[in-house]
Amino acid sequence: MREITSFSAAFHRIRRNRHLNVSEVAARTGYSASYVSKLLHGHRALLPDVVRQLDEALGAAGELVRIAAEAHDGPDHWVRPAQLPSTVPDFIGRGSFLRTLDGLASLRHDRDSPRTAVIEGGFWVGKTALAVRWAHQAQADFPGGCLFADLHGFAAGPPADPGQIVNGFLRALGAGGEAFAGTVDERAAHYRSHLAERPAIVILDNAADYDQIRPLLPGGNSVALVTSREHQTDLLARSGGLHLELPPLTKDEALGLLRKRLGEARVAADLPAAESIVRRAGRLPMAVLIAAEHAAHRGVSLERVAAQLRSAHERLEMFTSPDPAVNIYGVIDASYLALPSQPARVFRLLGASPASPISAASTAALADIPPVAAHAALDVLRRAHLIEPAAGTRMRMNHLLRAYAYERAAADEHPRELERVWQRLRQWYATTAASASNALAPGWAGPGLLPPGAADSTVAGFADGDYDGAMAWFEAEASAVLQVARSGPTTELSWQLPATLLPFFYLTKNWSTWLSAAAQAHNAARHTGSRLGTACSVLSLGWVRHEIGHAADAAILLTSALQLHDQLDNDCLAGWTAVALAAAQTILGQHEDARTLYLRADALFTSAGLTLGTAVVRAMLAGTQQELGDPQAPATAHDALALAQEVASNPVLSLAHHQLGLVLHAQGSHRRALTHLDSALRLRRTGRERWGEADTLVARAGALHALNEPVAAVDAYRDAASILDTLHDPRAFDVRERLTALRASLGLLGNADAAS
């Protein structure tokens, strides 16, 4: 008790000299008078932080700190710190991350296992909440307690001084006076020594960089959790730490968070608005909670909140606040203002871009910089978590970051530069889409339709025959092509861009997007008064109507399109229109009309020198000839196959094999038919022609059944039905009927099959 007596005597002496009572001193520190009284009577430990505050409150010039430190000379006075903030009450999800941290803790006694976890992610994604949640669950296994420090790495003002943080940790651990002497590294050594026998959890929140973190790592069997918006390469390399990349919540998790705040009934009553809210809030926990707060306490409907988030001008207003922790401008400023100049400019321009997601190539066009510079800028933005991965190698911004970046672009970029950005991006997409289109079907459109430079498929990196590269590009960028076409003033490119997608749509059967693109092109063509645009868009509208089973409507549209093309000098497009109209007439049972149209298309393609078109039309013509009993059908089909082998286009070659297989099957040559159908199937599988694959499987099942191989036929029908189900194609019902009938004939139909 000697140290308490000395400390208490000095306290009261100084207090009386200052004409203060105990309650007044306590009020200056924020502690209760009862707590200070118990400390002075030896019923509470002389914690360094408390002693320092009492010393400052009395103006004791360090006398009380010195007395307490002298009393602690020799063995340090151990105190188990408990510095964790309270856990988030509405914490949701993150189960896999919590389990990963559990594994880190369980292996901490293994000298080869990591003892540091770096939790990275963008603003408001819940990094701190995850670290604190896990620490609350795991703290019982750590006798050294829990230490927590906000390092202010990305916040207003300078980052926290690691030396000051070390001092705070030492005080929390009850360290003696000599521990506070010396350099930061010497004090850090004392800090690690305190934890050597009593492992603790140390949370270093909002870290800036390795130099700031290094002296704060605890060592031994303690576990450090570091949270940061920046990728901590140096820390991970030097510590061998565990890297946790924290993504936004899933859609279901974000909706679950909304339900926790607003109740199941309210969310269920307007689920579309709720889904819009969580999507526009980026599925970020804090943003979802702020949106929920608006709906809960301001008498605002979910639809009104959703509408505000849909508005580019109002979206960020919801997330402004005097509290810097929930003010989106201050939160994003901390990352944006730390960017080098070129990544900062790219960030702004991405906000002004209509295309999302984005690639390095499109970014290079957008910013008018070399591709290598675009790669480097995107890497900086990715490491700062200002963009996030999308499909493949592409990146995207969430809605909140896009709104912020757009405002920055409007404020910092000249209006003429923003106009040039739009022009560069649109021209790049037009040229690249046209090049990809030509890689899928070389020369299909003839002159006039595609933008200048499109005839050279190497302009955008599509080498001759790079079908896979072109298909992959369209799969990733088709939506961006349409977004760019819709943006800005309506020009010729507004209909040309959607028109370039026709071969892709035909091969992939993405009917809903095809319908939308055709209507978009038609509106743009009418707006610009383009006769060619109108003819092309009506062709596209008619073709997709035929594809989805509306042959009569399709025939009307395609007849109109053919009349328009008759007035234009483009035999290629006129030929494709005749092919599409013939296909619709075939569905309507008008086989003579279809034959006439196919022959007309053949003449047009021959005149244009488009061998690809001639191969396609003769493959289709062979099927019509077979329907009409024309003995020329096999010869026409073989001719189509020979032409298809010349053009070296897998989709055309697969069509030729498929059509020849159908003709041979109809004529009773089932084994020969199967050979060609198998060739078509291989090509369609490698070419990602999913609908074509299903079509060939159905034909193959018919040939197998005719060859008395019913089990193999059942497998083919089942595979076809599965593909059509995936494509949401109603023709799956017809295939399943055939499958059921065949299985019943084989005695393979059980109760479960009958019930379904």
Are residues 545 and 558 in contact, defined by beta-carbon separation less than 8 angstroms?
no
User: Per DSSP, what are the bridge partners of residue 226?
Assistant: 118, 204
* Tokens 């189509």, residue located: 640
For 291, what's the count of Cα atoms within 13 Å in the CB-facing half-sphere? 37
Same fold, 2-71 and 330-413: no
For residue 731, what pLDDT is reported?
A: 87
Are residues 514 and 691 in contact, defined by beta-carbon separation less than 8 angstroms?
no
Distances 520 to 365, 479, 523 between C-alpha atoms, Å:
24, 12, 5
CA distance 713 to 690: 19
Q: Domain 330-413 belongs to what architecture?
A: Orthogonal Bundle (1.10)
* Tokens 């760019």, residue located: 484
CA distance 88 to 644: 64
Residue 372 neighbours by CB under 8 Å, 6+ apart: none
Strand 388-389 and strand 395-396: the pairing is antiparallel
CB atoms under 10 Å from CB of 1, counted, come to 8
Q: Domain 682-755 belongs to what architecture?
A: Up-down Bundle (1.20)
Amino acid letter, residue 98: L
**Tokens encoding 118:** 């770096």
Which fold does the domain 2-71 belong to in CATH?
434 Repressor (Amino-terminal Domain) (1.10.260)
For residue 6, what pLDDT is reported?
A: 78
For residue 458, what pLDDT is reported?
A: 39
Which fold does the domain 95-245 belong to in CATH?
Rossmann fold (3.40.50)
Length of the chain, in residues = 756
The stretches in the chain having pLDDT less than 50 are 1-3, 74-76, 454-459, 751-756
For residue 450, what pLDDT is reported?
A: 64
CA distance 634 to 218: 81
Sign of the alpha-carbon torsion through 122, 124, 130, 135: positive
For 5, what's the count of Cα atoms within 13 Å in the CB-facing half-sphere? 2
Q: Is 309 exposed, middle or buried (0-12, 13-18, 19+ CB in 10 A)?
A: buried
Kindly list the domain boundaries of the chain, sorted by start residue: 2-71, 95-245, 251-319, 330-413, 416-529, 682-755
